[in-house]
Amino acid sequence: MQVSIETTTGLERRLTVGVPAEQVDSEVENRLKQAAKTVHLNGFRKGKVPLKVVKQRFGAGVRQEVLGEVMSRSFYEAVQQEGVNPAGQPAIEPKEMGEGKDIEFVATFEVYPEIELADVSGIEVNKPVAEVTDKDIANMIETLQKQQGTFKNVRRKAVKENRLNIDYVGTKDGEEFEGGKAEGQELVLGSNSMIPGFEDGLIGAKKGEEVVLDLTFPEDYHSEELKGAAVQFTVKVNQVAAIELPELDEEFFKKYGVEEGGEEKFREEVRNNMERELKNAAKNKIKTQVMDGLLNANSVDVPKALVASEIDALRGQMMQQFGGAAENMDLKSILPDDMFTEQAERRVSLGLIVGELVKKEELKVDADAVKAMVEEMASTYQDPEEVVNYYYSNRELLAGVESAVLEDQVVDHILDKAKVEEVKSEYEDVIKPEAQA
C-alpha cells in the first residue's frame, strides 16, 4: 500500500492511498466462488452455477462492495501508518477503480489539533459563599403557596402580582399594527410578559377603567417594523383579581411530599431542598468561571466536523421539545446552524482542552465520588436504594455520572492552582441563572 499525505489548510489533511490491484481482485474472486456454492439461478442446480455466469450476474455488485471495504480499511491503516488522528469521517474520492489496475483514492479529512496547555494559575475565580436563612425559607414557602393559590376578583386598585383581565389596542402613528390587539387577555402584573412599561402603567387601575399607555418597543424586538418604535396602547381593565394563599396545613404539605411531621417537617424539607439547590448553583457558577478561564487561556483550532456534529446534537435536543410535531417540520429552516454555532464551538473547544488536561495530568475517575454523586441524586427519591441499584446496573447512565465526576475533578484540579476569592453572597443571587447572551 502506497500512502502520501499533505496539509491543505489548517487542520485539513489530504491523504492519497494506492492499493495493489491483486488485493481487490483476489477478494472479489473469492467472494464470487463462495457465492457460486449457494446462489440459486434458473436452469442451474444449487452449487453448480458456472463461475463465469455468477461473475456476469453479480460481479459488478460484489466488486463495489469489496472496493468500499478495501478503501475503508486502507484509510484507517494509512492514518495509523502516518500517525494522524482524524476528527470526523473522511470524504473519499476514488481516482482509479478499474478492474485489473491498482486502486487509488484520495481521502480528505480534519485532524485533532495539538494543544499546548497554558498555565492555569492566572485564572481568577470568585467563589460565592452563602447560606439559607430563615427569611429565604419564608420567601420560598410563600412562593410555593402562590403556586397553589387561587385568584379572587377584587374591587380596588391593581397592585403588583394582581391578575388583570384586559382588552387592548395598539397603534403606531395612529394606525393599528399587527399583533397589537387582544380581548379578554389575562395578565399578571410583574410577570414581565409585555413590553417595558405596559404592566407598570396598569398599576393603580381599577375595574372598568380605560388607560392610555405611551410606550416604546425595545431596539432588539423581533419584529423589524416595531423595533424601537413609539406606540400607544389603549387598555380597558375588565377585572382585577388578587391571589389568595392556601393555609399551611396537612393538605398543603402533602402536595409537596410531606405525609407526616406537619409544618416542622415541611420546613425541614424546604431547607434541605434549598441547601441542595444552593450548593449546585454555587458549584455551577464556579465551574462556569473555570471553563471560561480555560477557554481564555487556551486558543484552540476546532475541527469543523466536530462542530457540525455538536450542532446536530444541540438541534436534536431542541427538537425533543417539539415532540411528534417535529416530524413534519423543516428543522434546518426553523433551527438553522447559526443558532447553535457559538455554543457548539464552545463545547468542542472545552472538550478538547479538558481532554488534553485529563491526559496530561493523568486524572482518573474517583469511584468514591461517583458513588457519592449517585447516592445524592437518589436521596430525592422515595426508595433511594432502588435508584442507586438502577444506576449501577445501567452502564450508559453510570457513564454519564462518571463523566460529570471527572469534570468536577478537572475543576477541583484547576481551583487548587487558580486565584480563588471567596465572595459573601445572598441565596437569591447565587441561584439566579447567569444572563444569557
pLDDT > 60? residue 85: yes
Task: Quote the pLDDT of residue 437.
Answer: 34
On the CB side of 54, CA atoms within 13 Å amount to: 23
Task: Quote the pLDDT of residue 436.
Answer: 45
CA dist 395 and 404 (Å) reads 14
Task: Quote the pLDDT of residue 38.
Answer: 75
pLDDT > 80? residue 49: no
CA dist 221 and 193 (Å) reads 13
Closest CA to 343 of 277, 291, 407: 291
Task: Quote the pLDDT of residue 57.
Answer: 79
Can you tell me the mean pLDDT for 287-299? 94
The radius of gyration of the chain's CA atoms, rounded to the nearest angstrom, is 33
Cell 441499584 identifies what position? 389
pLDDT > 50? residue 358: yes
Task: Quote the pLDDT of residue 173.
Answer: 94
Can you tell me the mean pLDDT for 316-325? 76
pLDDT > 90? residue 63: no
90-121 pLDDT, tens digit each: 999 988 887 878 889 999 999 999 999 999 99
Rounded percentage of the chain residues whose pLDDT exceeds 70? 96
The string over 200-225, giving b where at least 16 C-beta atoms fall within 10 Å of a residue's C-beta and e elsewhere, is ebbeebebeeebebebebeeeeeeee
pLDDT > 90? residue 193: yes
pLDDT > 80? residue 44: no
Task: Quote the pLDDT of residue 329.
Answer: 65
Average pLDDT, the chain: 91
Pull the grid cell for residue 252.
398543603
Q: Which residue has the higher pLDDT, 125 or 382?
A: 125
Task: Quote the pLDDT of residue 393.
Answer: 95
Q: Quote the distance between the C-alpha of residue 299 and its chain's center.
A: 23
